[in-house]
Structure 1
Amino acid sequence: MKKQTILSLSVAAALVISGGLAIAQSAGSGVSSLRGSSVADLDQPLNLYQQDEGRFARAYRQQPPLIPHGIDNYQIDTNANRCLACHDWTNAAERHAPTLSMTHYQDRDGNQMDRISGTRWFCTQCHVPQANAPELVENIFNPSSGN
């Protein structure tokens, strides 16, 4: 009796699965991606926006400056920080680069140090390369008036 019940359930499960697959295949022809194209179509590459040279104006007080140059292949990890090769106070004058703010040389307690603070080591947490690319989502931000 048990063998017959198991066999019957197995046959029923196989029929349900094969029927479900047939329905899924017939319905798949109308499936489209979020981009509106067919799932089977190859994705077209997005427009690449080149970095703008020069400096963008800051939109609000205390805004971290944008990076006005490329940083592709810059090593910034726990072992090295390529940004410091130009922007550390020991190199900035020689490299004609802006010096880091003195706040980058303070520890959590406000003590001044001769080397960059560990809390400011990963520059790209706050600073990003600038590019004049269109907004990805609607933005209603207005810059401060300067008052």
Structure 2
Amino acid sequence: MRPRLLLGAMAGMACLAAGTLLAQDAPRLRGPEPFTVEQPAPPMQRAITNDVRVRRNYPDQPPLIPHSIEGYALDLHANKCMSCHARRFTEQSQAPMISVTHYQDREGNTLGGLAPRRYSCLACHVPQTEARPLVENRFVDMDALTEPERQPGGRSNR
């Protein structure tokens, strides 16, 4: 029984040592302090509020919110987003109307009002800030993948 115990202890120590070595090389997203040290929260980043629509990167991507939503009520009794984006208010607000899919249930049946599953706008739509990215973004737009000749340095197979 002793050799098994000794072998298990040695394997555990080897795993600990390997984990420590790997953890030192892992990228840190929170700064130089270990996550166990309590730090004050960084200041909120400024929202992008230019009201310019952001081009979508892929089909069916939910539109981004190009304005501040600070102080917006979004609870069981109120949805501030709908005071501009509901069909009856878009002419005076000049805001884009929400998609007709927001008035459909899971089976595609049209409802008389906003579908409950689409009520919480922030589940899909997000505001943008001027925050510096935590990691490098290597996203490639769908058009760049399907039409390389439009990109600088791209070649066409035609």
TM-score where L is the length of structure 2: 0.61
The count of residues paired between Structure 1 and Structure 2 equals 114
Which consecutive residues of structure 1, in runs of 5 or more, have no partner in the other structure? Answer: 1-33
Select the structure with the greater relative contact order (CA < 8 A; seq sep ≥ 6): 1
Give the match for residue 35 of structure 1: 31
> What does 1:1-147 align with in structure 2 at a 5 Å threshold?
35-36=31-32, 43=40, 45-46=42-43, 48-53=45-50, 54-145=52-143, 147=146
Q: Which structure: larger Rg? A: 1
CA contact (8 A) 1:52 1:132 kept: no
Change (3 A) 1:71 1:50: closer
Matching residue's letter, 2:107: D
Aligned partners of 2:101 and 2:72: how far apart in 1? Answer: 23
SS at match of 1:145: helix
1:37 Cα deviation (Å)?
Answer: 5.5
Matching residue's letter, 1:121: Y
1:68 Cα deviation (Å)?
Answer: 0.8
Matching residue's letter, 1:58: R
Aligned partners of 1:119 and 1:111: how far apart in 2? Answer: 13
CA contact (8 A) 2:85 2:97 kept: yes
Residue deviations 1:37-64 (CA, integer Å, cap 9, x gap): 6999974844723314122211111110
Aligned partners of 1:94 and 1:40: how far apart in 2? Answer: 51
CA contact (8 A) 2:47 2:127 kept: no
Matching residue's letter, 1:51: I
TM-score where L is the length of structure 1: 0.66
CA contact (8 A) 1:56 1:130 kept: no
Once superposed, what is the RMSD of the aligned Cα atoms?
2.7
1:113 Cα deviation (Å)?
Answer: 2.0
Which consecutive residues of structure 2, in runs of 5 or more, have no partner in the other structure? Answer: 1-29, 147-158
